[in-house]
């Protein structure tokens, strides 16, 4: 069942392109890095932001995904700044 949630998210990406994909590293079904690899196949240059309190550096390195990381805990201002940077608005 948990993989179904990740697949539903990817299916939603197939129907439209959001301005930004925001994921946590620890997600049900696929980790955030795996999700972003699949998302990049649908939308190759889709801006992304990884939010996590746990980060597996090997998984991100293996994925070859270039995605900024915002570590938990963070403030509203840090989130605002990270989203702006991910969107190229910094």
Mean pLDDT of 26-37: 86
53: closest CA among 24, 78, 90, 22?
24
* CA–CA dist 53, 59 (Å, integer): 15
pLDDT in tens, 55-83: 665 666 666 778 888 989 999 999 999 99
pTM of the predicted structure, to 2 decimals: 0.82
20: closest CA among 90, 78, 83?
83
């Amino acid at each position: 069942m948990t993989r179904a949630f990740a697949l539903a998210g990817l299916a939603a990406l197939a129907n439209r392109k959001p301005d930004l994909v925001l994921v946590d590293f620890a997600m049900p079904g696929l980790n955030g890095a795996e999700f972003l690899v699949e998302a990049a196949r649908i939308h190759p240059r889709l801006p992304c932001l990884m939010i996590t309190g746990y980060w597996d550096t090997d998984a991100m390195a293996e994925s070859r995904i270039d995605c900024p990381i915002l570590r938990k805990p963070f403030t509203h201002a840090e989130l605002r700044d990270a989203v702006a940077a991910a969107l190229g608005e910094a």
